Amino acid sequence: MRRQLLTAAAVIVLAATATACNGDGTDPAADASASADKSPAPQQSNPAPDQGGAGQGGGQDKDKGQGQGQGQGQGGAQAVGGKLTLKGKKPGEQLDVTLKGFADPAHSDNKYMKPAAGKRWVAAQFELVNTGTAAYSDSPSSGAKVVDGQGQSFTQTMGSVTEGPKFPVTVNIAQGAKSLGWVVFSVPENSKPEKVQFTLNGGFANETGEWTLKK
């Protein structure tokens, strides 16, 4: 009986020794944990910027800006010598209108017809070119105005000037033809004209051209 107990004890001691010597004396679980800690963390791949979207957005803004710039140029005021294309009320009515000159003061060519007391004459010369598809008949002087710094508008007045011939009461401009003439205005002596305006159809068309005068 005693021998059997000693034998069993020896077997237990050998088993413990084998367990202690296994794996370099290190704990397998600890090794696994250490290996996990030392392994490189997975790299997160950040999505690349959507260059295509950004490029498209930039292109749209640029085009839009150009479009706004073009729209503003076509519709904005011109200086003396500038040309504007205006449409009339009837189909096919279209003129290229150029303010060729502006006289301030303008001088009467008739000693019996002078500006009234406290007034002076100014005059604008327009060139009208029919670029439409229909003949154009109008009273151009009725569609012209001068606007001063206070916002007051002045229409044509009777009188002729030494600067050049006025438009006749009615002009008939065939397709591709043109007409040139002066329009005379009477303004207060202290008035400072700043703009000249022109509208087809005796002033009743929907589009109005505008020219800015030098101050």
Residue 28 preceded by cis peptide, ω within 30: no
What would the pLDDT profile of 141-200 be if each residue is shown by its tens digit?
999 999 999 999 999 999 999 999 999 999 999 999 999 999 999 999 999 999 999 999
- For residue 140, the one-letter residue type is P
List the domains of the chain with CATH numbers: 76-212 (2.60.40.1240)
The pTM of this model reads 0.65
**Whether pLDDT at 84 is above 80:** yes
pLDDT-wise least confident of 66-70, 86-90, 153-157: 66-70
> What is the distance between the terminal CA atoms of the chain, rounded to a whole angstrom?
133
Q: How many CB atoms lie within 10 A of CB 199?
A: 21
Task: Give the model's pLDDT for residue 109.
Answer: 97
Q: Kindly report the CA angle at 85 between 79 and 90, in degrees rounded to 5?
A: 140
Q: Which of 9-13, 110-114, 210-214 has the lowest mean pLDDT?
A: 9-13
Choose between 24 and 188: higher pLDDT: 188
Q: Are 150 and 195 in contact (CB under 8 A)?
A: no
Mean local confidence (pLDDT), 68-84: 63
Higher pLDDT: 82 or 52? It is 82
Q: What is the pLDDT of residue 215?
A: 73
User: What's the mean pLDDT in 117-135?
Assistant: 99
Average of pLDDT values for 45-71? 34
| Range of weakest confidence among 59-68, 114-123, 165-174 | 59-68
CB within 8 Å of 183: residues ≥ 6 apart: 123, 124, 125, 126, 140, 141, 144, 156, 166, 167
What is the pLDDT averaged over residues 96-114? 97
Q: Given this model, what pLDDT does residue 76 score?
A: 64
Question: How much is the mean pLDDT over the chain?
Answer: 76
Rounded alpha-carbon distances, angstroms, from residue 171 to 135, 136, 168, 210: 11, 8, 6, 21
